[in-house]
Structures are given as C-alpha cells and as structure tokens.
Amino acid sequence: MQSLERTWFYGRLLLYIFLVGWGVRFIAGGPDAPVVLESFMHNVNLPTHEAGHVVFGVFGWFIGVLGGTLMQLLAPLAFVIAFLVKEKNSFGSAVCLWWFGQNFMDIAPYIGDAQAQRLLLLGGVTGKDVPGYHDWNNILGHLGWLEKDQLIASISYDIGRFLMVAMFVWGGYLLLVQYNALNRAEERDSEEQRVTGAEYMARADRYQKRGDEDGEPEGYTPSGGESR
C-alpha cells in the first residue's frame, strides 16, 4: 500500500515539475509573445471557445459573441471546483487551476488584436478580411472600449500569471504535505514492525525461562516412557 501511494506521489511530482517548467515559459511571455498562440494548449482551448458561441448564442448576439471567451474560462473553473468539492482531490484541482490561468493568457492576444485585427482566425482569415468576425473587436466596440484593448489584454495576461503562480505554491504545498505524511506512515510501520518483533522475542524468552524453572518431570525420558 505504501509503495503504491509513493508511486502516486512521484507521478504527481513529475506532473508538477512539468507544469511549472511549462508555466514559467508562459509567465515570461506576454500578450504579443508567440508562446501562447503557438502552444499546444491553444488547440485544446479552441474547441471549448467555439462551443461557447453555440451555448451562449441563445441569450442574444452580444452574449453569444462573448460566450466563446466565457466558456473558455468557465470550463477549467468548473474542473477546479469539481475536483476540490466533489472529488476531494486538491492536487487535481491545482492542476486545473494551472489550466484556468493559461486560458486567461490564451485570450489575451485575441483581446489585444481588437483594433488591429491582424491575427489569423479560424478559417485562415483576419478580422479585417471578414468584418464582424473578430469577437473582441465586436465586444470592445460594442462597449466603446476599443482603445483600451492593450490594457485589457495585459490585465488578462497578468491574471493568468497570478493564477499560475498560485498553482505553483498550492501544488508545491500539497506535495510537501503528502511527502511528510508518507514518511510518517512509513516510520509508524517500521516502529510497529520493531515492536512486534521485540514482543515476539520477549514472549519467546518468557516461555524459555518458564520451561527452565519448571524443569522436567520426575521419571520423564525423551522417549516418553517411564524409568524403571
């Protein structure tokens, strides 16, 4: 049992190290850095984004346009809560927190492109090529905030940085707690084994002493017969 739990621990540790290393690359980047849009995670997040337009489209044009980003953020947040509350798996929740933060970074380049509309969108076109196709041009234009696109993009990216750092701290703390618990459990098992062994030897000594004190009965022979 202890060996299985320690295997789980080292598996989590490897995943944590991987996410920290990958996360540092994202943190060191920014809304204009290619590390976000060229990341494998961008392809993971894209289907969720597109599904959000369909799900939230029933609430009208503006919510439908905003729905892509909403779904992209709500999906990992739902996993954070589910792992923490339903599954009672804090480490799984911490991993999903990393994903949540990465999504804030993933939407930042899109927000920052609201005025320029130079990014290639789904279908290989830009917002300039197809008017009304760029989500954040529509969103910020509708709100009258187009000139603030760079500021909002930076804020979104910084939120992602904060969430990733929070995951580093939380995940590291959880691993430390698990490591200490495993060591304490192994120490208890070793102590129990020592105590059990010592009790066995003490009991054997008591039986030996009792046999020596009682001695052999008169007339007893090893063959089991009586002496004549």
- The answer as to whether 223 is a domain residue is no
10: in domain = yes
Number of structural domains, the chain? Answer: 1
Per the domain annotation, does 189 fall within a domain? Answer: no
- Please report whether residue 204 resides in a domain: no
Examine residue 196 and state whether it is found in any structural domain, yes or no.
no
Q: What's the pLDDT at 228? A: 38
What pLDDT score does 219 carry?
54
The per-residue pLDDT for 6 is: 87
Question: Is residue 211 in a domain?
Answer: no
Say what the alpha-carbon torsion angle 198, 203, 204, 208 is, to the nearest 10 degrees: 140
Residues of the chain with pLDDT below 50 are 220, 224-228
> Taking the mean position of all CA atoms in its chain, how far away is CA 138?
34
**Integer angstrom CA distances of residue 16 from 32, 95, 207, 215:** 26, 8, 55, 67
Amino acid occupying residue 202: A
Distance between CA atoms of 69 and 170, rounded to whole angstroms? Answer: 26
In whole angstroms, give the CA distance from residue 35 to residue 22. Answer: 10
* Per-residue confidence (pLDDT) for residue 200, from 0 to 100: 63
**Separation between Cα atoms, residue 73 and residue 111, nearest integer Å:** 14
pLDDT attached to residue 227: 44
pLDDT at residue number 207? 67
Non-local (6+) Cβ contacts of 40 within 8 A are none
Alpha carbons 129 and 133: distance in angstroms, whole number: 9
Phi/psi at 87 (5° precision) = -85, -15
pLDDT of residue 15: 98
Residue 180 domain flag: no
Contacts of 111 (CB under 8 A, 6+ apart): 31, 136, 140, 149, 152, 153, 156
Query: Which tokens belong to 9?
Result: 């621990």
Q: Is residue 214 part of a domain?
A: no
Task: Tell me how far apart the alpha carbons of residues 184 and 176 are, in angstroms, rounded to a whole number.
Answer: 12
Give the structural domain span for 111. 2-175
Q: What percent helix, strand, coil does the chain show, rounded to 5?
A: 80, 0, 20
